[in-house]
Amino acid sequence: MKVAVVGATGLVGTKMLQVLAERNFPVTELFPVASEKSIGKEVDYKGKKYKVISAEDAIAVKPDVAIFSAGGSTSLELAPKFAAAGITVIDNSSAWRMDATKKLIVPEINADALTSDDKIIANPNCSTIQMVVALNPLHKKFIIKRIVVSTYQSVTGTGVKAVAQLMNERKGIDGEMAYKYQIDMNAIPQIDVFLDNGYTKEEMKMVNETRKIMRDDSIRVTATAVRIPVMGGHSESVNVEFEKDFDLADIKKILSEAPGVVVVDDPLTQKYPMPKDAHEKDDVFVGRLRRDETQPNTLNMWIVSDNLRKGAATNAVQIAEYLLEKGLL
């Protein structure tokens, strides 16, 4: 397998290289790609140094798959060029997610939609991925009517600059600001830009992507996305209304048997998922499972996952693994 990683020097790109190595994806040749200013720099993969090359040079060597984490505008420009050369692109940006001609894939849910004709495959938003991994097995049995979600998102979702801002503020050092406001000792109820309807782009991503991944446009979703001063993972408070009634024991059983889900839910011993425990893990952790006592057929739950792993790099590598397993690469 000849593999290109586009955006290899960034926070997610670095994580993609780590995940490819950890999962022993059969990389025979690796081509790290980054912006012009990074060409010639070296990245580490399985203890070996690889020089960063340009996108043009990567296309010329025709890798089997190119995993992108280089931002939306870069993906819009470069992904079609890779695809035109017969290279399968798995893109981590928002560029292609809501394109009707492109598949938006979470392997545990809808990888069966993929064919050899899919040359640009979209990797969903990090906060959407962890939510749908937990909700889809419940949707199959109880049918989701409405989701109310509030997210508490790690600074790593913004990138290196945001991590530096948090660490600088913690040490009392002036530095470059990733956010308009202080993030340490604070919570910022804005992720991405505001849209005409008063919601942010991040919030509307969760609305639209959830329906597309779960293949059900009737699901109503409303979201509030908040950035908090943590690293390690995103957390979500989710209130989900079903068409059918449920038993909490049944909910726990379904979730504990669902692929990629770990139930951590024991109020008596104060056990529940936290971002520090999800850090560097590929699972989606679910806890605080309880009935909403204000209306029927409604569940409250708390969902936590490492946004750089299952929320980005791991999900992309899992898509590549599926394509390879099914002979689609």
Q: Catalytic pick from 126, 278, 284, 303?
A: 126
pLDDT band at residue 13, thresholds of 50, 70 and 90?
very high
Minimal CA–CA distance to 104: which of 84, 87, 128, 86?
128
pLDDT of amino acid 178 = 98
Q: How far apart are CA 2 and CA 27, in angstroms?
A: 6
Residue range 62-67: average pLDDT? 98
Q: What is the pLDDT of residue 73?
A: 94
**pLDDT of res. 323:** 98
One of 102, 234, 279, 309 is an active-site residue; which one? 234
Q: What is the pLDDT of residue 12?
A: 93
Q: Is 126 a catalytic residue?
A: yes
Mean local confidence (pLDDT), 86-106: 97
**CATH, domain 127-307, list 2.30.42.10, 3.30.360.10, 3.40.630.30, 3.40.50.1100:** 3.30.360.10
- Exposed/middle/buried for 2, CB within 10 Å: 0-12, 13-18, 19+? middle
- C-beta neighbour count of 171 within 10 angstroms: 9
Per DSSP bridges, beta strands 144-153 and 220-227 are parallel
Mean pLDDT of 246-268: 98
Angle at 261 between CA 256 and CA 262, to 5 degrees: 65
Could you tell me the pLDDT band of residue 186, with boundaries at 50, 70 and 90?
Answer: very high
What would you report as the CA-atom Rg of the chain, rounded to the nearest whole angstrom? Answer: 20
Do residues 300 and 238 touch, judged by C-beta distance below 8 A? yes
Reported as type and span, the H/E element at residue 203 is helix 201-213
pLDDT number for residue 89: 98
Note whether 2-124+312-325 and 127-307 share their fold.
no
Domain segments of the chain: what residues? 2-124+312-325, 127-307
pTM for this model (two decimals): 0.96
Residues 47-57 have pLDDT tens digits of 999 999 999 99
> Per-residue pLDDT averaged across 250-273, rounded?
98
Superfamily of domain 2-124+312-325: NAD(P)-binding Rossmann-like Domain (3.40.50.720)
